[in-house]
Structure 1
Amino acid sequence: MNRIERYLGGVVLSHSLLVMLVLMVIFSFFEFMNQVGKLTDSYTLGLGAFYTLLKVPVYSYEVFPIVLLIGTLMGLGSLANQSELTVLRVTGWSIKRILWAVLKTAFLMWLVMAIIGEFVAPKSEAYAKKMRAEALNQSFSIGSSNGLWVKDDYQYIHVGRVISSQDLRNIEIYDLKDGKVSGLIQAKQAHYDGVWTFKKVKYINLKAVQPSEQMPKYYDYATVHYDEMTRSFPLKPEDLTNLDIETRYLSGWDLYHYVEFLQENDLDASSYLLSFWRKVATPLVVLAMIAVVFPLIFGSMRQVSVGQRIFLGVLIGMGFHLINQLIGNVSVVYQLPIVLAAIAPSIALLLFSWYWLRRVD
């Protein structure tokens, strides 16, 4: 970057950080007030404040596109009000060149937020839920009624209740052989300590018996009881933890992993697939958010108040977010192409901005 590009980038960065700070204070305040209403003897005020602090990376990643939109609109708007953009245009800087200079900073900011979204926010969200659940003596939501089903080529597994990521109750494992059930393992509980250990186990071995060709086949069974036994289990504690986190909070790698897992088990993976492709499409969202600012700034160089710019940025950002959510949910419900639903709103906004910008330039 040359000096002018660094100056433009610094203006966008400073205003975006200011917007992020204000939004995080607002979100944190409401989150903390929400946690205050849940306080108990074990879930103290300090834990509620710590839970709120753990939610900050999650919120910052979620609102980043809107923050970037408002920050860029405020930053470039202040330069427009001071006629600095006019001076740049007179010295030979085209709108496209200014756009490219701002995009460099925007994508550097996105890179930082992508790292937060991939590595910090999922762990922070998982730990926050685990900490609060333990303090309130809650179990995982997936273990509330129907339990959890898992399937692979060799077994069906039903977990009656997930107490925590390392403690399971009422487990049934149906062994398969040639596509048929060959045995059943019933365990009262399972605990993870490097490996899964099942306790109070009853093993029922099924065997097909046909005394002669003239007589029908029947099944005989033998039952064996064990106090403890170890056995391979397809889910790890971190998998069980992630299953209780909303799809939009998972990292891209976890989303990809769960899409494969659900598809292998012939389960609906649409919501996970939509969240995965939304993460992939985030750079396109960043580009669209920056692009829509330029016709707004260069299309009207008269004095506009900061409040008007903030209102306009919030209006555009929230409108885009609502349309994006609507199209995504409709695609999941009606089984429309997920990839198209994830990127179509960004492409539409980008094309609209490009057309508008051409009319202004």
Structure 2
Amino acid sequence: MNRIERYLGGVVLGHSLLVMLVLMVIFSFFEFMNQVGKLTEGYTLGLASFYTLLKVPVYSYEVFPIVLLIGTLMGLGSLANQSELTVLRVTGWSIKRILWAVLKTAFLMWLVMAVIGEFIAPKSEAYAKNMRAEALNQSFSIGSNSGLWVKDEYRYIHVGRIISSQDLRDIEVYDLDQGRIKGLIQAKQAHYVNDSWVFKEVKQVDLTLLPADQQLPARIEYSSKNLQKMAEIFPLKPEDLTKLDIETRYLSGWDLYHYVAFLEDNGLDASSYLLSLWRKIATPIVVLAMIAVVFPLIFGSMRQVSVGQRIFLGVLIGMGFHLINQLIGNISVVYQLPIVLGALGPSIALLLFSWYWLRKVDG
């Protein structure tokens, strides 16, 4: 970057950080007030404050595109009001060159947020949920009272309750042979010890199909035995169980990729997770679209407007795009439309519209 590019990037970065700070204060305040209503003897004010702090990386990653839009609109708008952009144009800087200078800073900011979204936010979200659940003496929550079903290659596994990522209750394992149940394992509880699951208070049932003969028809031979404990291979590890309790948009791209593969291998619907994965892949396009839509506004009919008007317009565009993006993505899942189109379509449409509008303004 040359000096002018660094100056433009610094202006955008400074205003974006200011917007991020304001939004994080607002989000944290409402989250903290929500947690205050759940205080108990175990879940103290200090834990509620810590929970709110752990949610900051999650919120910052989620609102980054809107923050970038408003920050760029405010930063370049202030330069336009002071005629600094006009001076740049007079000295030979085209709109596209200014756009490229701003995009360099925007993508550096996106790289930082991508690291937060991939490595920090998922761990922070998982720890926050577990910490609050333990303080409130809640069982590990996954979906509904029906527990968790997992399909392995030769087994169906049902977990009645998930107390924590390393403590399971009321487990049933159905062993299959060519589509028929050949055995059943029932365990009152299971603990993860030394990198393996140990079932306790186990009842093991074996079913054997005996063919018909001259004296007796086909029949099933039944035998059972009780065991105090036994080692058992379970297809999910504690970290996988923890991720199941996190909303899909908070999972890292790597975790989403592996979980989509797991669901597809087990013949389960992975469309919502696939949508979240493609939305993460589409983030650079969203960043580019958010920056591109600012330039026709700045160099068009909004050269001289107040900061409040720019903030209002930025919020309007950002929230409108977010709602449309969510709507189209969810419609693609519900009506089984191409997931890639639902994830990439809105951002590509906004980018093409912004580029067309910018070419008209640039003349």
**Fold shared per TM-score above 0.5:** yes
Give 1:179 deviation, angstroms.
Answer: 2.9
**Residue 150 of structure 1, CA deviation:** 0.4
Matching residue of 1:253 = 254
| 1:302-321 to 2 correspondences below 5 Å | 302-321=303-322
Aligned pairs for 1:225-304 within 5 A = 225-300=226-301, 302-304=303-305
Distance of aligned partners of 1:23 and 1:213 in 2 relative to their CA distance in 1, 3 Å threshold: farther
Question: What's the CA shift string for 1:72-127, capped at 9, x where partnerless?
Answer: 00000011011110111111110011101100000000000000000000000000
Q: Do the aligned partners of 1:70 and 1:310 also contact (CA within 8 Å) in 2?
A: yes
Match of 1:30, SS state, is helix
Match for residue 199 of structure 2?
198
| Counterpart residue number, 2:337 | 336
With over 3 angstroms needed to count, the CA separation of the structure-2 counterparts of 1:51 and 1:214, relative to structure 1, is same
What is aligned with 2:109? 109
- % of aligned pairs identical? 83
Return the alpha-carbon distance in structure 1 between the equivalents of residues 215 and 361 of structure 2: 89
Q: Residues 143 and 163 of structure 1 are in contact (CA less than 8 Å); yes or no, is this contact kept in structure 2?
A: no
Counterpart-to-counterpart distance in 2, 1:171 and 1:136:
24
CA drift at 1:214: 7.5
1:325 aligned residue: 326
* CA pair 286-143 structure 1, distance change in 2 beyond 3 A: closer
Contact 2:212 2:219 survives alignment (8 Å): no
How far 1:311 moved relative to its partner?
Answer: 0.3
- Tell me how far 1:213 sits from its aligned partner: 6.4
> 1:179 — aligned with what?
179
1:76 — aligned with what? 76
State yes or no: 1:128 paired with 2:109: no
What is the count of residue pairs matched by the alignment? 361
Matches of 1:143 and 1:174, distance apart in 2: 22
Matched, 1:164 2:164: yes
Task: Provide the alpha-carbon RMSD of the alignment.
Answer: 1.1
**In the alignment, which residue of structure 1 is the partner of 2:225?**
224
- For residues 115-169 of structure 1, the C-alpha deviation after alignment (integer angstroms, 9 at most, x for no partner) is 0000000000000000000000011222741111001211110001111111111
Query: Is the 1:143–1:161 Cα contact (8 Å) retained in structure 2?
Result: no
Distance 2:342 2:144 in 1: 32
Report the equivalent of 1:154.
154
Q: What amino acid maps onto 2:44 in structure 1?
A: T
Deviates more, 1:181-190 or 1:45-54: 181-190
- 1:41 paired with 2:56, answer no
TM-score, normalisation: structure 1: 0.98
Q: Does the Cα contact within 8 Å between 1:143 and 1:162 map onto a contact in 2?
A: no
Deviation per CA, 1:205-253: give whole Å up to 9, x if none. Answer: 1111125267532110211110000111101011111111111111101
8 Å CA contact 2:11, 2:76 repeated in 1? yes
Q: For 2:87 and 2:58, how far apart are their aligned partners in 1?
A: 40
- Does the C-alpha gap of structure 1 residues 301 and 332 become closer, same or farther in structure 2, counting only changes over 3 Å? closer
Aligned to 1:174, what secondary structure does the other structure show? strand
The farther-off stretch of 173-182 and 128-137 is 173-182
Return closer, same or farther for 1:302/1:283 CA change in 2, 3 Å cut-off.
closer
Q: Separation in 2 of the partners of 1:137 and 1:251? A: 28
Matches of 1:143 and 1:92 in 2, distance apart? 59
The 8 Å contact of residues 140 and 162 in structure 1, kept in 2 or not, is answered as yes
Give the drift of 1:195.
1.3
TM-score (norm 2): 0.97
Matched residue SS, 1:221: strand
Please identify, of 193-202 and 42-51, the stretch whose mean Cα deviation from structure 2 is larger.
Answer: 193-202
Whichever residue aligns with residue 286 of structure 1, its letter is V
Whichever residue aligns with residue 332 of structure 2, its letter is S
SS in 2 for 1:141: coil
Structure 1 stretches of 4+ moved >4 Å: none
What amino acid is the match of 1:328? G
Aligned partners of 2:54, 2:357: CA distance in 1, in Å?
Answer: 41
Which consecutive unaligned segments of at least 5 residues does structure 2 have?
A: none
CA distance in 1, matches of 2:263, 2:349: 31
Aligned partners of 1:143, 1:282: CA distance in 2, in Å?
28
Look up the match of 2:352: 351
Once residues 214 and 334 of structure 2 are traced to their aligned partners in structure 1, the CA distance between those partners, rounded to angstroms, is 52
Is the CA contact 2:150–2:157 (under 8 Å) kept in the aligned structure 1?
yes
